[in-house]
Structure 1
Amino acid sequence: MFMSNDVYQLSSKRLRVLWSNPEVIFYIDIDSDRALPEYAPRGEFEHLMAKGELEIIEDPHINISMTFPASGSKSEDIQNRAWGAIEDAVNAEPNIYVRKQRGQLLTQAMEKSGATKQTIYRWFRRYWQLGQCKNTLNGQYNRCGGLGKTKKKSGKKLGAPRTRTPGDGVNVDDNIKAIFRVAIEKCLLNESQYEFDYAYNQVLIAFGVPLPCKPEHLLDVPTARQFRYFYNKEYSPLEVTRKRKGEINYQKDYRPVLSSSTTEVSGPGSRYQIDATIADVYLVSADDRNKVIGRPTMYFVVDVFSRAIVGMYMGLENASWVSAMEALSNTVLDKVEYCKQFDIEITKEMWPTVGLPETIIGDRGEILGRHIEVLSKAFNVDIENTPPYRADWKGIVERYFKTVQVKMKPFVEGYVTKEAIGKKRHGKDYRQDSTLTLKEFTQMMIKIVIFYNNEHTLSEYDPDKGLPNDLPYNPLDLWEWGIQYRTGRLRRPSSDIVKVNLLPHTEATVTEKGLKLFNCYYTCKEALDWGWFEGNYNGAKKVTIAYDLYSANVIYLRLNDNYATFITAALAPRSRAYQDLTMWEVWQRNDINADVAATSRLKSRSGSVNLVNDLETIAARSKAAQPINKALTKSEKVTGIRENKRLERQQERIKKYENQDVNQQPDNVTSLHSDRLNPKSYKLPTSLKDILKSDSDDE
């Protein structure tokens, strides 16, 4: 306590301790221009400290005492002259602090240096007040001039006079500064990124330069140098970059990168990054290689800790939650079986990355919806969405797209180049060179992924503190080491459970024909046992199901909130027309059927209108045929209906018989009884009496 050079606060004064012993303390006021050393009993300082009136503070002049003058500079010369004059005096402690003895030391310093009394005292005071070291005697040129202060203007032009350009120029006053600010903010500090010359021209126009402009009009106007000086002084490079590039681009491309993705994870499975891109190659159809089918979509899922590619999707679906869920489902699949689908034989050790992570980070458009809620609730996976235009949040997986495609480029035709198609004469259309099918492209990608995971060395991997120095920075080596020695974050649920839970969900309707979904009917043993399709079923008419967009053959019943249970229902025979179709094809067929039905309804309606017209015509004609004078009463009119019907039936039979030509016979038939003029009658009997008549009666 009360060490030499300590600084204390006492009320409004700041005191520096110059020298002390157990009885007395010498100190000086560091803020007074006329201060000299004073002394006080040590007990007084201790008493003030105990009362809290005296407290130690940081040295306010530490920067001065720690700043050395440049070698050979004028400041160093001033320091050496002053130090040579007072060195012996200031080292004579504590005599230098006693007034009578200080006079003798002062005289010796004056004789030694030839400096005046006032100069020696000024050097003493600077030495004591600023920190009691040689550096306090430097030439304080930092106090010269008006750094950061605006010069006071007068009628005279500030600055050096012109030597070549005619005219005197103008001082930059508040009005010109206002013009500068408007031009800067409208022309330079926006994403249009106009050039500086354009902004200066706007300054001249706003200043009032006559138009059309002549050289003599530019003699007494603000110069481009004045405009640039104001621009650089008033606006920092950071502010300029944010304004000209935009906040989104600044955060993505220009912000300081002081950390990395690896610092946020503790081991394999801590965090996966997922992203998609369109591959830089055109493919052909497997059924007809003359048909170019466009560029496929690539999805990669990458483990941040090990940089291993743990899941992938190669297909023709656009980047969406459908293909994203395919890629996530791939992370829990047995990679040996997955590769076997593409005629590639691998061992389990070549691609052992199976499981769901603790956290997944991806684009907002793809990582949304019920399936993500399932990931969060059922599998305890945290979901993180990147802000718009912030691909740098998924920098690892973004970089892999370029890596794998560069590996593929020398071996494929139809690779997309920077040259615009058809823009140059004799320009090559790379689409014409396409040779790969989707399966062959996927085979290439699998081979590249296996090489990358097993053989590639990470050149810019930033290791954690606990990683061994002899551990190769290879994705699978890092993966295996992390699985063994780091906290387990990986989860390995059944691939079927993951697949079903990541499928889209909706409601199917219970009908007598089966479970109806998208005009398809499904059935299963459990539903039959429960009597869902019986006519007297009174249970729920809607049931939650999951469906696979790539196959309409089956759906999965979700009867409760248990994510681990589901029942498979197959397509019913009555919906056999939809067998082996995808859901997209089912929807397309339903759209066609709806179009046909709409046309048929129009045709049916027009026929119905014509029918009504015809029926009304007949009804009107029937009414018109009724006798005007009714001779019979109502009761007489309904008497004898049975007899009337019999007579009407007899008339109908006679008319039908009369319409038949009984004598007509074919030309190639000869009659054997041509002499019989009255042939036997075959008329139907009309009464019981006629039936009982004998043959002779008929004759």
Structure 2
Amino acid sequence: MELKENLLLQYLDGKTIRIVYCDRLSSIIYAIDMNKIRWPFAMKKDELVANYQTEKIVILENDPYIRNVVEEELSDAEKERRNRAWDIVNFVFQQVDSEVLIFQSRYRENAIKLAETSYKINYSTVKSYLVSYWKGGKIRNGLLPAFNLCGSKGKKRIAGDKKRGRPRKSGAQEGVNVDDKIKKYFKIGLNRYYYNGRQNSLKVTYELIIKDFFTETNVDGNGNEVTVIKDPSKIPTYSQFLYWYKKFNNPKKELINRNGARNYFQNHRTIIGNSTQDAGVGPGTLWQIDSTQFDIYLVSSVDRNLIVGRPTVICIIDIFSRKIVGLNVTFESFNSYTGTMVALANAMLPKEEYCKQYGISLEKNEWDVACVPQKIFADRGELNGKQVEDAIAGLGISILNAPPYRADYKGVIEQAFAQLNIKVKPFADGIVKNGKNAKERGDEEYRLKANLSIDEFTRILIKCVLFHNNHHVLSGYVLDEMMIEQGIEKIPSKIWDYGVKNMKGQLRFLPEQTVKMHLLPTDFSASITSRGVRFKKMLYASDYSLKNNWYQSARINGSKKIKIWYDPRDLSYIYTINEDGEFHKLTLLEHLTKYQHRGIDEIKQIIKYEESLDSKTKEKELQEKMKLYDDIQTIVGKGKKKTEMEKDDSLSKAERLRGIRDNQRQEKELQRELLRKKKKDLVMDTQSIVESQDIQDQDDELSMFRAIQQLDWDDDIE
């Protein structure tokens, strides 16, 4: 047993003492009886230790005599009395040469007399301060006045005939005590009018309680029923109602009944712990996935005059390290199967080709996540459905779904979305204000400022992801002891690398073909034709398909449908299962390079844009065709008229049809003769033009010579 100051000891009979002075070099200690107001007394150490060993005395672990208070919550009166008592106690101790002398009466009495004279107080007051100081653990707050014990706080008062509380400041009525009957009225009224979704205020609830329980119906002189208060002197005041409301009220019940359970659990429930503890044994154990409609309007990549709306961003984050492992930017609808599967494929596959598609070259280990997680946590949107569950379960991944409308269950990824918005909004145009599409009167139409295409916006988000993973400091992340010892920085990539090297979990990798086969969207509308594999008006081929005569067979036997897999972000390639059971890649044909490295949404826009151009061109074509028909009709009319004028009616049909070949030969010779004559006339005209040009050139040269001679002549005269 180690004896030390402030140690609380209790005897079997309930007597409690506190050691107030212990000298290691002395066999005597001083203790004070906690149940009496008396001076400390001397005890032998050996006797105390012996009592402890024989279990006649026990050590109290909890100290109920030391007051733990918040300084700011103390009143001025409490602080003033405590500080004065503290000054007096210090004064008394300063009058003795050493602390141990204060326990000897002759030295103590002299010090107390000096304190009485200096502070104008009596002996009992000084004794009370000293005893409180020792009992309170020899700290300043041990001298606080016991205001907390005054007034029977928390105890129920018994109502009598006399009105409790302060008198009313105005009004002749004395008031009424709130008895059990009135309390019952308050409870009924609160349940009836306040604890519901009508959002009645406490003031309205009080008034409705008065109406229900403190009024009666009378008939006025006109025979109409009028509600009047029974006895104004017996009505509880609004302040009394508020007092009992605060005593009855359960904040959880109030929030759930007035705002709904979902609102309570999302915004007001107790939050203990953090998401990292759910991440299990390290990176790749638990991922969170979520989608959101980003607060920005984009323009078409084909025609920037077209505003195409807000993109959907699907993000996947590793809970242990807070590293963003997957991203997909699309115009797919919320919680779409296609968008979710592509985001998951992006998370589980290497990122080099994906980033290169948007003009970003990754450095070594800059975004090196390409693994399969153990569990994925989502809400009831992204991964809710048999098709999705079957696809993910095939990769050996467990799906955890949050309750509906509980975004607080995915706080990590919700915060990641918030960070992306914060980084993009200061620089981009077409931003949605306050996350709402609503526009106040007089506000500028922000959608007209949109100027980014989906490719440019995706590139911005990839840059933000790389910054987050490699440079963002996670201020709120709690490092464990090993991380602190090794000096791990609170950066997602650093935490990820530490977890891979030191945590129990191991990253799981699968072949790229396996991941794509399970996660990429499928389509059964593709067909093998004589020109290639046709999908979405595009054609694909491969060496394997050419060697195995796919297209020749299609030309002979007709086209046939096949199942294909595709990446909606880049339709440069599609995949199918070939005759050997392999996951086979088909490449876009060279003459369709305008569709290369473009997503399905962008290709749809290109096709739609081409169709709109065709539509406009066809309108012009139709107009010009009408002119053509008019010209043809005019020429035909003139020819018909000339033929009618020169027609020889004496010739029979047989005579007219006889000798068509001879007539054709004569007409051909005639046309040739006319052509030769035209050429001859053209040559003669050309010669005459050349001769006249030569004469003109000679005249021009002569005129120039004469002008030069005139200038020389003028110079000679001068």
* TM-score (normalizing by structure 2): 0.56
Counterpart of 1:347 in structure 2 is 361
CA distance in 2 between partners of 1:158 and 1:94 (Å): 52
Q: Which residue of 504, 513, 516 corresponds with 1:496?
A: 513
CA deviations over 1:341-363 (Å, ceiling 9, x no partner): xx744434486543333442212
1:383 aligns with 2:387: no
CA distance in 1 between partners of 2:215 and 2:284 (Å): 67
2:518 partner letter? N
1:46 aligns with 2:61: no
Change (3 A) 1:320 1:62: same
CA distance in 1 between partners of 2:89 and 2:500 (Å): 69
Counterpart of 2:8 in structure 1 is 7
Q: Where do 1:434-449 residues align within 5 Å?
A: 442-449=454-461
1:149 aligns with 2:142: no
1:450 aligns with 2:462: yes
CA distance in 1 between partners of 2:139 and 2:507 (Å): 62
Structure 1 residue 450: Cα displacement: 2.2
Structure 1 residue 321: Cα displacement: 4.1
Mapped contact 1:189–1:240 kept (Cα < 8 A): yes
1:249 aligns with 2:263: yes
Change (3 A) 1:290 1:36: closer
Give the paired residue count.
514
Counterpart of 1:310 in structure 2 is 326
Structure 1 residue 324: Cα displacement: 2.0
CA distance in 2 between partners of 1:30 and 1:501 (Å): 74
Q: Which residue of 322, 328, 350 corresponds with 2:344?
A: 328
Counterpart of 2:169 in structure 1 is 163
Q: Which residue of 181, 185, 189 corresponds with 2:191?
A: 185
Q: Where do 1:536-615 residues align within 5 Å?
A: none
Change (3 A) 1:346 1:201: same
CA distance in 2 between partners of 1:31 and 1:3 (Å): 20
CA deviations over 1:231-274 (Å, ceiling 9, x no partner): 23443656644554434323322346676556766876454321
Mapped contact 2:298–2:430 kept (Cα < 8 A): no
Change (3 A) 1:460 1:414: closer
CA distance in 2 between partners of 1:247 and 1:282 (Å): 34
CA distance in 2 between partners of 1:200 and 1:279 (Å): 46
CA deviations over 1:491-541 (Å, ceiling 9, x no partner): 442222112234799xxxxxxxxxxxxxxxxxx99xxxxxxxxxxxxxxxx
Q: Where do 1:193-342 residues align within 5 Å?
A: 193-210=199-216, 212=226, 218-235=232-249, 240-241=254-255, 243-255=257-269, 261=275, 269-278=284-293, 297-304=312-319, 305=321, 307-308=323-324, 310-312=326-328, 314-316=330-332, 319-338=335-354
CA distance in 1 between partners of 2:463 and 2:234 (Å): 70
CA deviations over 1:258-300 (Å, ceiling 9, x no partner): 7655676687645432112346678999999999998765423
2:376 partner letter? I
CA distance in 2 between partners of 1:282 and 1:152 (Å): 67
Counterpart of 2:534 in structure 1 is none
Counterpart of 1:689 in structure 2 is none
1:30 aligns with 2:34: yes
**1:448 alignment partner, SS class:** helix
**1:63 alignment partner, SS class:** coil
1:230 partner letter? W
Mapped contact 2:193–2:200 kept (Cα < 8 A): yes
Mapped contact 1:65–1:133 kept (Cα < 8 A): no
CA distance in 1 between partners of 2:162 and 2:273 (Å): 54
Structure 1 residue 14: Cα displacement: 1.4
Mapped contact 1:503–1:547 kept (Cα < 8 A): no
Structure 1 residue 10: Cα displacement: 1.0
CA distance in 2 between partners of 1:116 and 1:110 (Å): 9
RMSD, aligned CA: 5.6
**1:327 alignment partner, SS class:** helix
Mapped contact 2:8–2:19 kept (Cα < 8 A): yes
Structure 1 residue 331: Cα displacement: 2.4
**1:164 alignment partner, SS class:** coil
Q: Which residue of 71, 80, 86 corresponds with 1:73?
A: 80
Change (3 A) 1:480 1:444: farther
Change (3 A) 1:87 1:177: farther
Per mean C-alpha deviation after superposition, the further-off stretch among 288-297 and 392-401 is 288-297
1:394 aligns with 2:410: yes
Mapped contact 2:345–2:519 kept (Cα < 8 A): yes
2:515 partner letter? V
Mapped contact 2:291–2:314 kept (Cα < 8 A): yes
1:73 partner letter? E
Change (3 A) 1:201 1:24: same
1:113 aligns with 2:130: no
CA distance in 1 between partners of 2:107 and 2:499 (Å): 80
Structure 1 residue 176: Cα displacement: 1.6
CA deviations over 1:592-625 (Å, ceiling 9, x no partner): xxxxxxxxxxxxxxxxxxxxxxxxxxxxxxxxxx
Q: Which residue of 52, 58, 63 corresponds with 1:55?
A: 58
Of all paired residues, the percent bearing the same amino acid is: 24
Change (3 A) 1:314 1:156: same
Structure 1 residue 327: Cα displacement: 2.1
Change (3 A) 1:67 1:61: farther
2:174 partner letter? D
Bigger fraction of residues in helix: 2
Change (3 A) 1:282 1:164: same
1:153 partner letter? A
Change (3 A) 1:484 1:8: closer
Change (3 A) 1:546 1:494: farther
CA distance in 1 between partners of 2:428 and 2:409 (Å): 30
CA distance in 2 between partners of 1:254 and 1:182 (Å): 26
CA distance in 1 between partners of 2:244 and 2:30 (Å): 51
CA deviations over 1:159-187 (Å, ceiling 9, x no partner): 22122234222112222222222223343
Structure 1 residue 44: Cα displacement: 3.5
Change (3 A) 1:556 1:386: farther
Mapped contact 1:86–1:124 kept (Cα < 8 A): no
CA distance in 2 between partners of 1:55 and 1:546 (Å): 81
Counterpart of 2:653 in structure 1 is none
1:450 partner letter? I
**1:392 alignment partner, SS class:** helix
Counterpart of 1:516 in structure 2 is none
Mapped contact 2:315–2:324 kept (Cα < 8 A): no
Structure 1 residue 79: Cα displacement: 5.8
Structure 1 residue 312: Cα displacement: 1.3
CA distance in 1 between partners of 2:434 and 2:160 (Å): 66
CA distance in 1 between partners of 2:314 and 2:378 (Å): 11
Structure 1 residue 405: Cα displacement: 6.8
2:80 partner letter? S
